[in-house]
Amino acid sequence: MSQDSSPRPGQLVLVPALITLAVTLLRLVGELQGWSPRLFSRAAGGGGALVGISWLVPVFGAWFGWKLAASGERPKSAWKALGLTVLALAVLPAAGFVAAKLGIGEMSVTMLTIYAVVSVAGLLLALLAWPALGRTLLAYGLAARVPVVLVMLAAILGNWGTHYDVMPPGVPEMSGLTKWLMIGVLPQLTVWQWFTVVIGGLFGIAAAALARRRTAA
């Protein structure tokens, strides 16, 4: 399919981005109001709370892949796309393993920086797997995470006591803006973009394969 007739990332991500923003705001209100910790955990990193935007990545990744495939925009080789995406998935755990062997603390500033750099490399690799899906997921990832970055700035400066401003264990104390850069801007615009493109890519490739089988049938 020609690039002009294939869906543009902005067209695909608009509604998912609005849904994700609504979930972000709901999560913030739930934490500020002290609602169920199981749904709205205030623990650093989110505590695996059921209300959160990370759970949306597989859902929208599959939807993007399905929509792209239905429009005729598919990877040249599904197996190659899958292989590159799996390789991109492996880079962060591999970096963590090597860093642990070198004695670098899991939640140290050095480790956070390593994760950020390696995640960008993994992200670029994932973008090569299926460029159309990768671009769409990156656009969605930015639309999802930039509001979180802004919420974290307000939460840190206001000391709201939510998971948006709680320091992970082992991270040294730092000033407000430095804290925002280290636990907000850096991971949200690197590691979480990697997560979105890679995990979303895996589900998108699977959905595209199903869409292709359905079309063939």
pLDDT in tens, 16-33: 999 999 999 999 999 999
DSSP 74: -
The mean-pLDDT minimum among 75-79, 141-145, 210-214 falls in: 210-214
* pLDDT of 2 strictly over 50: no
Q: Which of 67, 27, 82 minimizes the C-alpha distance to 51? A: 27
The gap between the terminal CA atoms of the chain, to the nearest Å, is 20
pLDDT in tens, 166-211: 987 767 778 889 999 988 999 999 999 999 999 999 999 999 998 8
Residues 84-91, mean pLDDT to the nearest whole number: 96
Q: How far apart are CA 130 and CA 132, in angstroms?
A: 6
Instruction: Tell me the two tokens of residue 174.
Output: 């730092």
| pLDDT the model gives residue 186 | 93
Query: 76 pLDDT band (50/70/90 cuts)?
Result: confident
Residues 39-58, mean pLDDT to the nearest whole number: 93
Cα 166 to chain centroid distance, Å, stands at 19
Considering Cα of 122, then 61, then 153, then 96, what sign does the dihedral take?
negative
pLDDT in tens, 109-163: 788 889 999 999 999 999 999 999 999 999 999 999 999 999 999 999 999 999 9
Query: 100 pLDDT band (50/70/90 cuts)?
Result: confident
Q: What is the pTM of this model?
A: 0.91
| pLDDT the model gives residue 211 | 83
CB atoms within 10 A of CB 189: 18
Contact between 64 and 140 under an 8 Å Cβ cutoff? The reply is yes
Residues 53-67, mean pLDDT to the nearest whole number: 97
Contact between 114 and 84 under an 8 Å Cβ cutoff? The reply is no
Query: 1 pLDDT band (50/70/90 cuts)?
Result: very low
The mean-pLDDT minimum among 4-13, 38-47, 66-75 falls in: 4-13
